[in-house]
Structure 1
Amino acid sequence: MAQPAVWDDPEPLAVSSAPVPQYGSGSLADLLPTLAAGMGVPGTTAAIAELNPADRNCVFLIDGLGWEQLKTHRDEAPYLHSLLAGSRGGTGRPLTAGYPATTATSLASVGTGLPPGAHGLPGYTVRDPATGGLMNQLRWQPWTPPHAWQPYPTVFQLADAAGVHTAQVSSPHFQNTPLTKVALSGGTFHGRLTGEERMDFAAEQLAAGDRSLVYTYYAELDGAGHRYGVASDTWRGQLMYVDRLVQRLAEQLPPRSALYVTADHGMVDVPFDEDHRIDFDEDWELRAGVALLGGEGRARHVYA
């Protein structure tokens, strides 16, 4: 029986109320290992107890769509909202992102099934011990050997080796990036330009094997949030589009399959004014004793 569900990461609203990552029981890193274990893939463990095994599993990751955003935008995402726990027939509940909740770190956790401290991609920009300089782990600049950072097999590689039909359906732009190679490789990558093409082909790939593990991805909601904010018309329009994509994919699920909709992080609007910003470069007390400032605005890495 086909069953869509929403498994999304909560969006921390303040430091004091931020949820602790539920590593080993309910984090992003636990999703793929749980699905793979249900298909009998060696080396994987079912960490999320309430997930029922399925022969065909599809994970649709929507970049930047946090749990709080989804709950507060019911009108723009009626289909997704109908899948949430509390809605009629809805079973979706949140997963916790790891720390820090940034794209490179979260995607590596999704693909490897490991928390950030284990898989080696701990932030947006981090200090490279070989050079002493900052390395951007999303854009992989400056280039360094990818597997020096993340040497572990991905869940997709384990599934493919176990005879599971394994595929990633995403933008062609991501096919050969270092982040894809260390976090999401295994099986076959299929580049498709439009969201509709990705949904249709993901459904085809899901039906292509007796046991299937398919991953698909959409980035533009995150881009709209970063550029215009989550209260903007552009972001809301993207959410409406994403909602239609999820429904399109769910309606094509083959028998014995499950669809999981998740995200890598949430998003909050930060006002652009002095009361909400701290400028490191203008405060000598903050700079004292600091050799390098990495990370990003959401989670700084301070190197003494």
Structure 2
Amino acid sequence: MGPLDQLPPEGWTSGPTLADLIPSVSAALGYGQGRRFEIPDSHTVVVLMVDGLGDVLLQENSVFAPTLTANRSATLRAGFPSTTATSLTSLGTGLPCGEHGILGYSFAPRDLDPDITHTLNTLRWTLDTADGRDAGAFFPPADVQPMPAAFDELGQAGAGVTVLMAGDFRGSGLTRAAYGNPTDYRDASSPAAVRDHLREILAHGDQGPRLIYGYLPQLDAAGHRWGPGTPEWRERLRDIDDLVREVIDLLPPGATLLVTGDHGMISAGRRIDIDTSPELTERVRAVAGEARIRHVYAEPGQASRVREVWEAELDGIARIATREQAVDEQWFGAGTAAHVVDRIGDVVAVPYRDTLLTRSLAEPLETIMPGHHGGWTVAELLVPLIAATG
């Protein structure tokens, strides 16, 4: 199966997924059961989330990441859509998006806003677009994503939980939706800062049980700006590999390091611009999602006609499904909560291979990016699990 081939529906969630990771970590720390990974009992587990680290990309660029490659232990499914906001919330709650409700880069929370006054950009937590107004008052994170965060549950059970992320992310809508309210939050905006914090924390040895979570966005940013596999992208991959090598050396006995990604990435192929295609916007109230998966919200009573037009215009280019089809085929997980069903577009479009459904007017920056994700190809959905012990 090639990197641009799509996984069959049963492959989107079969086998271990990102949603299984933190419950397995909790079991390794002595809290609960349900360990789906071979994680040894540990007093400390360090989880590093490398945004954009796909399994296909790692294998294709293994020479630039010898430490990651040597310690690669498994392949996980990121879940669908294969995008940051969805995956981080699945990691942080232990649930597929059909249960936690963060259905992608953007969507219309129709259960909270039946008239679709706005769509929600979940990555920035803004109204309608990435540079829109703050959405916190209109769409409070706790209303959009009401399920408990595993980080909070671990802390309440008695484990120490430390989060290493850029200070700008502290208290953001997505941070609250995915991770709850971590009390030990340390500003770490670069791989070097993550390393320095880990050196300080791990020097004290067994202070467990504790989870230390670090988030690294640099690889994904390079993929969007320059493209995956480019020299600039490989430079960031080398930096991550150097960090992981140093962290492995820092691990005390009884500590475990886990490294994974939230999605992979593909290079842009054919672009079809929704905003300059009148036939694709006729009878449509809103278009959300991103270039690799679109939620289309029809005017009242027009869903069937919108589906017919999108099927005709994108025949052989994208898979078009109704909301009911997407739920029946378990696109968003085995069980989709009733309020989450309302958030799915009346029509859902997923382009085949490397095609993009762009929006040049509403999303000018996203439209020109060379690297994308969100779809269901092997390159987007599969992420590695790297494991090492002290």
Same fold? TM cut 0.5? yes
Is the deviation greater in 113-122 or in 277-286?
277-286
Q: Quick check: 1:54–1:258 contact (8 Å CA) kept in 2?
A: yes
Equivalences for residues 239-254 of structure 1 within 5 A: 239-254=237-252
Unaligned segments of structure 1, at least 5 residues: 1-10, 85-91
Is the deviation greater in 254-263 or in 169-178?
169-178
SS at match of 2:12: coil
Distance in 2 of aligned mates of 1:140 and 1:259: 30
Q: Quick check: 1:160–1:187 contact (8 Å CA) kept in 2?
A: no
Partner of 1:195: 191
- Which residue of 23, 26, 29 maps to 1:36? 26
Distance in 2 of aligned mates of 1:73 and 1:181: 34
Q: Quick check: 1:58–1:260 contact (8 Å CA) kept in 2?
A: yes
Q: Quick check: 2:51–2:216 contact (8 Å CA) kept in 1?
A: yes
Distance in 1 of aligned mates of 2:45 and 2:206: 12
Larger radius of gyration between Structure 1 and Structure 2: 2
Partner of 1:14: 5
Equivalences for residues 45-194 of structure 1 within 5 A: 45-84=33-72, 92-129=73-110, 130=113, 132=116, 133-142=118-127, 143=135, 144-184=139-179, 185-194=181-190
Distance 1:149 1:208, change over 3 A: farther
> Which amino acid letter does the alignment assign opposite residue 36 of structure 2?
I
SS at match of 2:250: coil
Distance in 2 of aligned mates of 1:97 and 1:68: 13
Unaligned segments of structure 2, at least 5 residues: 128-134, 299-390
Partner of 1:88: none
TM-superposed deviation, 1:52: 2.9
Distance in 1 of aligned mates of 2:85 and 2:30: 28
Partner of 2:357: none
Partner of 1:8: none
Partner of 1:302: 296
Distance 1:154 1:230, change over 3 A: same
Equivalences for residues 202-221 of structure 1 within 5 A: 202-206=198-202, 207=205, 209-221=207-219
Partner of 1:228: 226
Is the deviation greater in 62-71 or in 168-177?
168-177
- When normalised by structure 1's length, the TM-score is 0.86
Q: Quick check: 2:21–2:37 contact (8 Å CA) kept in 1?
A: no
Partner of 1:3: none
Q: Quick check: 1:33–1:113 contact (8 Å CA) kept in 2?
A: yes
Deviating runs (4+, > 4 A) in structure 1? 16-19
Q: Quick check: 1:66–1:265 contact (8 Å CA) kept in 2?
A: yes
Distance in 1 of aligned mates of 2:52 and 2:84: 8
TM-superposed deviation, 1:117: 0.9
Partner of 1:269: 267
**CA RMSD after TM alignment:** 2.1
Identity %: 36
TM-superposed deviation, 1:17: 6.3
> Which amino acid letter does the alignment assign opposite residue 102 of structure 2?
L
> Which amino acid letter does the alignment assign opposite residue 239 of structure 2?
Y
TM-superposed deviation, 1:286: 2.9
Q: Quick check: 2:28–2:35 contact (8 Å CA) kept in 1?
A: no
Q: Quick check: 1:26–1:47 contact (8 Å CA) kept in 2?
A: no
- Corresponding residue pairs, total: 280
* Alignment deviations for residues 216-270 of structure 1 (CA, whole Å, 9 cap, x no partner): 0111111110010013211111111111011111110121111110011100101
Distance in 2 of aligned mates of 1:226 and 1:208: 39
